[in-house]
Every structure is written in C-alpha cells, then in structure tokens.
Amino acid sequence: MGTIIDAADKVANGNSLTEKKVKVVFVLGGPGSGKGTQCANIVEHFGYTHLSAGDLLRAEIKSGSENGTMIQNMIKEGKIVPSEVTIKLLQRAMQENSNDKFLIDGFPRNEENRAAFESVTGIGPEFVLFFDCSEEEMERRLLSRNQGREDDNIDTIRKRFKVFLESSLPVIEYYSLNGKVRKIDAAKPVGEVFEAVKAVFTPTESDDKAV
Ligand SMILES: Nc1ncnc2c1ncn2[C@@H]1O[C@H](COP(=O)(O)OP(=O)(O)O)[C@@H](O)[C@H]1O
Ligand SMILES: Nc1ccn([C@@H]2O[C@H](COP(=O)(O)OP(=O)(O)O)[C@@H](O)[C@H]2O)c(=O)n1
Ligand SMILES: [Mg+2]
C-alpha cells in the first residue's frame, strides 16, 4: 500500500481511498429491514455502486478463502466478523470499481467496524441511511425471504436481533449525535419506503445555496 500517498491524501481531503476521492453512504437497519431492496432502487436512480458487506462475506466463503470457515461459522451464529476481514473486502471492491459513489450496506455493524474503517480508509460517510422497522415485521420478512440463507432461521434471527440492539444501534446513535442519520420508516410497502429514500438523495434548493 502507498502509505505515504494514503496519509497525505487523507490529510488533504479527509475523505479518500488511496488517490481516489470517494463518496460513501452507509445503509444501516436491522436484519430484514429492507437495506438490500432499497439499495437496488438507489443504484438505478442515483448511480451509486452497491456494496453489501454480507454479500461480500458470503462470496468470500464461496471462493474457498482461508477465512471461509470462520466467516461461515460467525454468520450462522449471527456474530460480527472481525473488521479486518470485512474492511479488506470493502476496500478491494471500492478500488476495483471506477465509480466514486458507494452505498455500503450492512456496515459498520459495531463500534469496532466503525472506528477501524475510518482509521484504515480515512473515509467518513456523507450520511447514514437508517431503515427503522419493528422486530415483528423484520422477522416476518426474513422467514419468507427464501434466498436459501443459512442465517434466515428463527434461532439465528433471534441472535441477529440481539446483536443489532446491543452492537449496531450504538453505531447509529453515534452518527445521530453527529447529525448524520437520515431515518426512514421502513415498515411501509417497498414503493412508499423508496419515496422517502428518494427525498433524502434528492438535493434541495437550500443545498444548492449552501454550495
Ligand atoms: N418494504 C417492504 N415491505 C415488505 N417486504 C419487504 C420490504 N422491503 C423488503 N422486503 C422483503 O423483505 C425481505 C428482506 O429484505 P432485504 O432487502 O433483503 O433486507 P435486508 O438487506 O435489510 O436484510 C426480502 O424478502 C424483501 O423482498
Ligand atoms: N459488517 C458486517 C456485515 C455482515 N456480517 C455478517 O453477515 C451476516 C449477514 O449480514 P447481511 O447484511 O447480509 O444481513 P441482512 O441484514 O441483510 O439480513 C451478519 O449477521 C453477520 O454475521 C458481519 O459480520 N459484518
Ligand atoms: Mg441485506
């Protein structure tokens, strides 16, 4: 890694990935809140590249990587994989893509994820999209997701909800204190949720004046 360039670039821009300036939006919310579904809509309308931390970890298992078994066991238990592993996958995906706007879905999921990403990449989010949904509704959705995921069973779902409350919500609270959180009512039908999402991504007149 070009650490000198990295460090100088971080100091100069405060928001960069090696020599490339990138814009990042974190997409957070409980399991089944609709992050992946809405990210697909955002990609189509606003030209972002979607990076799902969970999808990257599942691809890593499939690729037969040396970390595969560890990742698979952690996902089955609903636990959060060490940041080092997930950040490497996210960094590689951003470096390999020529786009400069990324939706990072399902990351950061705990304080360790958040702090490590900021210190390793020097990137802070433009804002954080938070999909707010009741556990009852998320459970219903996960049990009928039908993607053959090993973690979409009631035992693992309960563990994931506990991890979300204990480890992920504090990250959302952290960004909330910094005025970065855009909270969306995610219990509504997909189209209505996307209307609220669109409003967040559409620049307003006051934004234009601020520039
Ligand atoms: N607003 C919604 N209303 C009803 N079902 C939804 C909604 N958004 C997503 N779903 C469905 O719920 C399941 C979980 O959605 P997904 O986008 O995978 O959530 P996440 O990535 O947050 O776990 C999927 O089967 C999806 O089709
Ligand atoms: N930052 C992350 C994201 C996901 N994961 C793991 O991957 C699992 C599935 O994440 P996901 O984002 O695909 O799940 P959903 O919230 O989309 O249902 C999590 O329960 C964790 O075990 C992780 O360890 N660290
Ligand atoms: Mg998802």
HEC profile of 16-80: EECCEECEEEEEEECCCCCHHHHHHHHHHHHCCEEEEHHHHHHHHHHCCCCCHHHHHHHHHCCCC
**CA dihedral sign of residues 115, 69, 140, 27:** positive
pLDDT given for residue 209 in this prediction: 66
Would you place residue 211 in the very low, low, confident or very high pLDDT band (cuts 50, 70, 90)? low
**pLDDT over 70, % of the chain:** 89
**pLDDT over 90, % of the chain:** 86
Residue nearest to atom 20 of ligand 2 (CA): 78
**Binding residue ranges for CMP:** 113
For 8-43, how does the pLDDT look when each residue is reduced to its tens digit (9 = 90+)?
A: 344 444 444 556 789 999 999 999 999 999 999 999
The answer to whether the beta carbons of residues 104 and 27 sit under 8 Å apart is yes
- Give me the chain's average pLDDT, please: 92
Is the reported ipTM for this assembly greater than 0.95? yes
Query: What integer is the mean pLDDT of 92-115?
Result: 98
CA of 159 to the centre of ligand 2 (A): 12
Burial of 108 (0-12, 13-18, 19+ CB in 10 A): buried
Please give the model's pTM, rounded to 2 decimal places.
0.92
Q: Is the CB of 149 under 6 A from ligand 1?
A: no
Residues with CB under 5 A from ligand 3 (ion): 35-36
- Parallel/antiparallel/unpaired status of strands 127-132 and 181-185: parallel
Which helix (H) or strand (E) is 183 found in, with range?
strand 181-185
Would you place residue 205 in the very low, low, confident or very high pLDDT band (cuts 50, 70, 90)? confident
Would you place residue 55 in the very low, low, confident or very high pLDDT band (cuts 50, 70, 90)? very high
CA of 189 to the centre of ligand 1 (A): 10
pLDDT given for residue 64 in this prediction: 95
Residue 70 has pLDDT above 50, yes or no: yes
**Binding residue ranges:** 32-37, 58, 79-81, 106-109, 113, 145, 149, 160, 188
Gap between the Cα atoms of 144 and 196, Å rounded = 24
CA of 34 to the centre of ligand 1 (A): 4
Q: Is the CB of 125 under 6 A from ligand 1?
A: no
CA of 2 to the centre of ligand 2 (A): 30
- The residues, ordered by sequence, that sit 6+ positions from 4 with a Cβ below 8 Å of its Cβ are none
pLDDT given for residue 6 in this prediction: 47
Nearest ligand to the C-alpha atom of residue 70: 2
Closest atom of ligand 1 to CA, residue 147 = 25
For 141-196, how does the pLDDT look when each residue is reduced to its tens digit (9 = 90+)?
A: 999 999 999 999 999 999 999 999 999 999 999 999 999 999 999 999 999 999 99
pLDDT given for residue 146 in this prediction: 95
Q: How far is CA 118 from CA 37, 57, 82, 96, in A?
A: 26, 20, 15, 19
